[in-house]
Chain A
Amino acid sequence: DAKTTQPPSMDCAEGRAANLPCNHSTISGNEYVYWYRQIHSQGPQYIIHGLKNNETNEMASLIITEDRKSSTLILPHATLRDTAVYYCIVRPLTSGTYKYIFGTGTRLKVLA
């Protein structure tokens, strides 16, 4: 079972910030949080990942709460091309196996 819970869907106006929440209350101290998105049945696209500090790259910002039980992905200026399913993943450590356990994600719709 996925270790994360996300709202099934969200809408965001074009040009505004999209804030996508994720709950991972059972996260372990050495597990990272990853975010991917999937546009219309293409392969998932890596966005960002982090451990406990906030992270920012050219695509997005990741805010992780101090207790690490939840995080928020921020797309600062959403465009129509950001319409996609966004997955929050906590990577479990299993003898070095790199498996991701995906949930059902959040379907973000950016509105013109």
Chain B
Amino acid sequence: QSALTQPPSVSGSPGQSVTISCTGTSSDVGSYNRVSWYQQPPGTAPKLMIYEVSNRPSGVPDRFSGSKSGNTASLTISGLQAEDEADYYCSLYRSSSTVVFGGGTKLTVL
């Protein structure tokens, strides 16, 4: 059982916005900005989309944004496109130099 809880699935129509949550505890997500988000289309390797809660790597569209409130981090995708359909995973780098992933969320573009 993952230490980070994500909804199994979310969906939205093209052009809409969707938000994927990632819930931890006050001693991990709530205390540190070490949350990152990965996109994994079917049959491909994961790709970094957000790091340190809200920062976008070079080349990632600004339609992707991250935030955090309390013990929950969130990934928001605005202006949804068909190519955004993928699995999304949050990840946390813990103070013990270990990493944990969330269970993953399948995004369906209707």
Q: Do A and B associate with each other? A: no
What residues make up the interface of A, taking CB atoms closer than 8 Å to B? none
What residues make up the interface of B, taking CB atoms closer than 8 Å to A? none
